Amino acid sequence: MVNASEALERLQDGNRRFVAHGYGSGELIAHSHIAALIDYQTPFAIILGCSDSRVPAEIVFDQGLGDLFVIRVAGNIAAESQIGSIEYAATHFGTSLVLVMGHTRCGAVEATVDALTGPSSEESENIRLLADLIRPSVEPLVAQAANLGREELIHRAVQANVRRTVATLSEKSDVLGGLIRGERLTIVGAEYAIETGEVTFFDA
């Protein structure tokens, strides 16, 4: 079983490979590898990331089939279904690392910032619910919007949203909180730069 520090190192190494050479190790998707995964899986990391088409976790970390348990949702939020998915992977597969990964120019965060700083727009109820989960990360920054400028405000909001999601996972899940206290789970935040392909890990 891969421990959290080893898992984090594998992600960091994989992102360095991606930034340097792009994605692709043929053996990771060979048919023999597909067959080996039919009866079981042992992902070494759980990734809670954004649904943005520019940020596929397996590619940006240069990983293959069976390596990552990936949950993707706009704005990398932690609602009940995402928390339950992480609980499942942590308890059933023994995966010891959760990475919450936001990214630069996140549309969900931008939309939430715009909703708080500009005229209201007509959105569906479900989109509003999504924005409501991002809003607490953004609201403390809005008061500084005039001094920050929009680009810097979005940048800080993306990072604040990641940090809030990290905190939410341990605060709202007794299962994950217990695993953390028992030193069987580590949750780390990160930001992917769509401009460069590089992932910055928070507090790691």
| H or E stretch at 189 | strand 186-192
β-partners of residue 99 are 47, 188
**Residue 142, both tokens:** 């809005």
More confident residue, 140 or 191: 191
Tell whether the model's pLDDT for residue 4 goes beyond 80. yes
Domains of the chain: 4-201 (3.40.1050.10)
- Give the pLDDT confidence of 132-176 residue by residue, as tens digits: 899 999 898 887 776 778 889 999 999 999 999 999 999 999 999
Burial state string for 151-173 with b = 16 or more CB within 10 A and e = fewer than 16: eebbbbbbbbbbbbbbebbbeeb
**Beta sheet of 199-201, edge-to-edge order:** 68-72, 45-49, 97-103, 186-192, 199-201
For range 103-112, the mean pLDDT: 94
| Per-residue pLDDT, 35 | 75
Q: What region does 149 belong to: left with phi over 0, alpha with psi -120 to 50, or beta?
A: left
More confident residue, 177 or 21: 177
